[in-house]
Chain A
Amino acid sequence: MKILVVLKMAPDVVEELDIAPSGTALDPRGQRMVVSESDEHALEEALILKERHGGKVTVLALDAPDVDEVLFAALAKGADRAIKIKGAAKGLATSVAADTLAQVIGSELGLTPADLILCGVQAVDDLDGLIAPLIACQLGLPFLGIVTGLWVDAPGSRAFAIKEYPGGVRGEFEVAIPAVFGIQAAERPPRYIPVAKVRAAMKSHAIECIPAPLPVNAVTPLIQVLAMRKATLAPRAEILEGSPDGVSARVCEILAGRDLI
């Protein structure tokens, strides 16, 4: 079975985020980029499927700061091939990224036909669309999102997937493959890979670099960011300050005042 995993880098939101002087984008200086959380789950799900059904996992990413480390980590975890697309348009547009990725998937030798294309369900910066349905639409493939479990029929003609609904309800779907899935969470937490193994992969494996194809949909941008600002400059919460014992005493007073203790 052939599985493609799309990995997208996004700013680490646990770090402080600053606005660029333009006022319309994040300041890339000092910003830590990490692989989007649900993409990590997409990779894990692909590796689980490979263990279960056999096959080959290829990871695919657009060039971005620190992406090499992420691709080598994927190889160290068990991916068979890593491809980096260089020179693609930068910025916030997920639609442009999806266009580029779909073109590469459709044209790069050895990538199609793939049985499964796994993407993360949503990234923190997916302002103008989600990558999985956009890729599916462009490649004319079926799509299912918010997936937390996936298995494939023996003949390989269809997949079964679990999708999450509100309130802990899940839905089971049958999907004709090849298909694109937006993975929310893998069946198991993403495996941990020690740095030493990533370093070893850097020596034993190579990342294939390919140039980004010219965009087929080279149109003027469909949305324009007019301004960006920090959302929590003036938080609503009353901030309690002091030592752990000091703030604990204050919390007790608040709870007592509300008859909660």
Chain B
Amino acid sequence: MTGNIWVLAEQWRGRISEITYEGLALGRELADQSGARLEAVLVGHNVRALADTLGRADSVLCLDHPLLAEPVASVYVDVLAPLLAERKLAAFLIPLTNVSLGIGSWLAGQLRVPAVNFCKDARFVDGRLQARCVLYGGKIEAEVAVCGEPAILGIWPGARPPEKGRSAQPPAIEQVTVFPDQTPSVRFRRYVEPARGDTDLRQQEILVGVGRGIRNKENMALAENLAGVLGGVVCGSRSVVDQGWLPLSRRVGKSGLTVKPKLYFALGISGAPEHVQGMRKSGCVIAVNTDPQAPIFDVAHYGIVGDVIELLPALTRAIRARKPPADDA
């Protein structure tokens, strides 16, 4: 039997993140495979009540302290590293999200243990832990073996369905006393909420998603025209928002919004995992990309290999021609 499997039960602003349940589902498989225990590690302040939803684990280690109220990587590492060094562990699954990013790398660096990022699957093969990872913006998959324990696995959203990681049964809870640094060098001050007033993408049935392939701000009008005839709204990838071609409120993905429209056009969007995370549950995805190997074609239901600038006027014209004039906004 190898060491136990840990899953970082990511909580943020009083809620357990969905990826925690995905991690628990994957962790459960690993623990069952190796005959080890699955333990969820819940870090924060006044989080005890959240532990009850983590029953897929055999037990929950609860690290509760006022200084752990916000997920600051260095502060979390400070309390997790000694615990990791003290207990026998095969793997620690940590969500690769905007909340927890950095914790895994730092732990691995400090403890000199293997780390594998971008994992979408993991299993033991002949007693050795192997992970399947998505690299190069989603274009390449790698099968990676770890050499040593514990291994820190950075988990991508979507590794397992979250339902498989939920359980109505409350787990055993172990309160772990921790002593975080009283004068941390990184201090949380406040949250800045997103500006209100713009369309809420999450309420839209049709979204026209635009990526860097649109090339310039002027071409955004082509996407606006398509959205206009469809009665939808334009949104975009991080690249487009970072260029200032769309406001922050229109960003879809890991650090933007998670949307679930009936129809999502992905125009000149490569399909990087951070974007896909925000739109993969759309009802119908139609992707247009010049690169036949673009990862977005693996998410889309329909794909067009071609130039979006060339296609958009034709597509808008064709849809306009089919719609009754009254609907043509």
Contacts and interface: CB of A to CB of B under 8 A. Distances in A.
Interface of A: 11, 13-14, 16-17, 19, 26, 41, 95, 98, 121-122, 124-130, 132-134, 136-138, 142-146, 160, 162-176, 179, 182, 184-185, 189, 217, 219-232, 235-241, 244-245, 247-249, 251-252, 254-256, 258, 260-261
B258 to A, nearest CB: 8
Interface in B158-217: 185-194, 206
A14 B110 CA distance: 34
A261 B101 contact: no
Contact of B303 (A121, A146, A239): A239
Nearest to A10: B136
Nearest to B108: A129
27 contacts: A17-B293, A26-B140, A133-B102, A134-B105, A137-B110, A143-B73, A144-B72, A144-B73, A144-B186, A162-B192, A165-B255, A168-B248, A169-B192, A170-B192, A171-B189, A173-B186, A179-B186, A184-B255, A223-B115, A228-B140, A231-B298, A235-B298, A240-B302, A247-B304, A251-B319, A254-B286, A255-B319
Contacts of B194: 167-170
**Interface residues of chain B: helix, strand, loop or mixed (majority):** mixed
Contacts of B293: 16-17, 230, 232
A12 to B, nearest CB: 10
A222 B148 contact: yes
Contacts of B284: 254, 258, 260
Most chain B CB within a 10 A radius of its CB, from A137, A166, A179: A166
Given A95-B109, A231-B138, A237-B303, A249 B318 contact: yes
Given A175-B186, A219-B112, A239 B304 contact: yes
B302 A260 contact: no
Nearest to A234: B298
Interface in B278-298: 283-287, 291-295, 297-298
Given A165-B255, A222-B113, A171 B188 contact: yes
Contacts of B255: 146, 164-166, 168, 184
Contact of B286 (A130, A132, A164, A251): A251
Contact of A228 (B142, B254, B305): B142
B256 A221 contact: no
Nearest to B263: A260
Contacts of A125: 135-136
A127 B286 contact: no
Interface string B78-112: 00000000000000000001110110111011101
Contact of B114 (A162, A222, A255): A222
**Interface residues of chain A: helix, strand, loop or mixed (majority):** mixed
Contacts, number: 294
B74 interface: yes
Given A142-B74, A260-B263, A261-B230, 6 more contacts: A125-B136, A127-B142, A129-B105, A165-B99, A239-B302, A244-B306
A163 B187 CA distance: 12
A181 to B, nearest CB: 10
B47 interface: no
Contacts of B251: 168
A142 to B, nearest CB: 4
A232 B270 CA distance: 12
B79 to A, nearest CB: 15
A175 B191 contact: no
Nearest to B321: A252
Contacts of A14: 270, 291
A26 B135 CA distance: 11
Contact of B306 (A132, A220, A247): A247
B315 A225 contact: no
A42 B178 CA distance: 35
Contact of A167 (B242, B256, B322): B256
Nearest to B296: A237
Contacts of B48: none
Given A165-B99, A184-B255, A258 B302 contact: no
A130 B319 CA distance: 45
B314 interface: yes
